[in-house]
């Protein structure tokens, strides 16, 4: 079941962050990590903010974390969102690290039941044959 009625603003599957989206297609959440100093970073980028290294890999993580904050959106700003509001957008702090926050949606919690601190885990929605979006569900 899809969280939104129609996909929109899909990421480029063959872009510079293809490894992130390829992992999602395999139903894994993989976060960019510095090969030299092991600092995590997100959104991914060409250089490590901690040590300046340009070597990095995408490393699979548990996908578990806690809701840091959320909003319940009452607007439908795109034609593809017709009928979708109210929907939630959450920011999740992943369990393995302190400075990586993932934006997503919690798919199985009613608007009034969402709380800051709620434990969630990644789920994967195959939106198109090329693109899978990681989202979250209550853990």
CB of 102 to another protein, least distance (A): 8
Which helix (H) or strand (E) element contains residue 76? none
Q: By CB under 8 A, is residue 86 in contact with another protein?
A: yes
Q: Can you tell me which of 93, 121, 124, 138 binds another protein, judged by CB under 8 A? A: 93
β pairing state of 40-41 and 56-61: unpaired
Q: Can you tell me which of 5, 10, 52, 95 binds another protein, judged by CB under 8 A? A: 10
d(CA 82, CA 78): 7
Print the binding letters for residues 46-85 with another protein: x by CB under 8 A, - otherwise: ---x------------------xxxxxxxx-xx--x--x-
**Other residues' Cβ atoms within 10 Å of the Cβ of residue 51:** 13
CB hemisphere CA count around 117 (13 angstroms): 0
Q: Phi/psi at 12 (nearest 5 deg)?
A: -75, 120
Q: Please report, as ranges, the residues that interact with another protein according to CB under 8 A.
A: 4, 7-12, 15-17, 41-43, 49, 68-75, 77-78, 81, 84, 86-87, 89, 91, 93, 98-105, 111, 115-117, 127, 133, 135
């Amino acid at each position: 079941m899809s969280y939104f009625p129609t996909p929109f603003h899909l990421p480029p599957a063959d872009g510079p962050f293809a490894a992130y989206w390829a992992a999602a297609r395999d139903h894994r959440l993989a976060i960019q990590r510095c090969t030299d100093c092991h600092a995590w970073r997100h959104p991914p980028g060409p250089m490590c903010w901690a040590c300046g290294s340009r070597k990095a890999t995408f490393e699979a993580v548990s996908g578990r974390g806690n809701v840091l904050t959320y909003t319940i959106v009452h607007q439908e700003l795109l034609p593809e969102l017709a009928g979708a509001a109210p929907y939630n957008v959450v920011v999740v702090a992943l369990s393995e690290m302190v400075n990586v926050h993932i934006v997503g949606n919690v798919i199985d919690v009613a608007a009034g039941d969402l709380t800051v601190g709620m434990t969630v885990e990644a789920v994967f929605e195959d939106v198109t044959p090329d693109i899978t979006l990681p989202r979250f569900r209550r853990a």
